[in-house]
Structure 1
Amino acid sequence: MRTISSERLIMRPWDADDADFLFDLESRWETVRFLGPQAKPMTGRSEAVESIIRRRTIDDPIHGIWAISSRESGELFGNILLKPIPLSIDVEGEAPVEIGWHLHPDAQGAGYATEAASAVMT
Structure 2
Amino acid sequence: MDPDQLPALETDRLRLRAPTAEDVDFIAALYARPEVVRFLGDGRTERTREQALARIERYRSFAGEATGVWLASCAVDGGPRGIMLLKPIPLSAGADSGTEQEIEIGWHLHPEAQGRGYAAEAAEALIEHARDRGLEQLLAVAHPENRASHRVAERIGMTHRGTTDRYYDTTVELFTLEL
TM-score (norm: length of structure 2): 0.60
Maintained 8 Å contact 1:68/1:116: yes
Q: Distance in 2 between matches of 1:18 and 1:95?
A: 29
Q: Which residue of 2 aligns with 1:79?
A: 83
Work out which of the residue numbers 95, 107, 110 in structure 1 matches 2:116: 110
**TM-superposed deviation, 1:89:** 6.2
Structure 1: give runs of 5+ residues left out of the alignment. none
Identity %: 43
Tell which has more relative contact order, 1 or 2 (C-alpha 8 A, sep 6+).
Answer: 1
Q: After alignment, is 64-73 or 53-62 more displaced?
A: 53-62
Work out which of the residue numbers 122, 126, 145 in structure 2 matches 1:120: 126
Moved over 4 A (4+): 86-90
CA RMSD of aligned residues (A): 1.9
- Cα deviation 1:66-113 (Å, max 9, x = unaligned): 1110112211001011123475767xx433421111111111111000
Q: Which residue of 2 aligns with 1:34?
A: 39
Structure 2: give runs of 5+ residues left out of the alignment. 1-5, 129-179
TM-score (norm: length of structure 1): 0.86
Q: How many positions carry a matched residue from both structures?
A: 119
Q: Which residue of 2 aligns with 1:6?
A: 11
**TM-superposed deviation, 1:17:** 1.2
- Cα deviation 1:11-55 (Å, max 9, x = unaligned): 11001111111111100110011112x231002122111211222
Q: Which residue of 2 aligns with 1:57?
A: 61
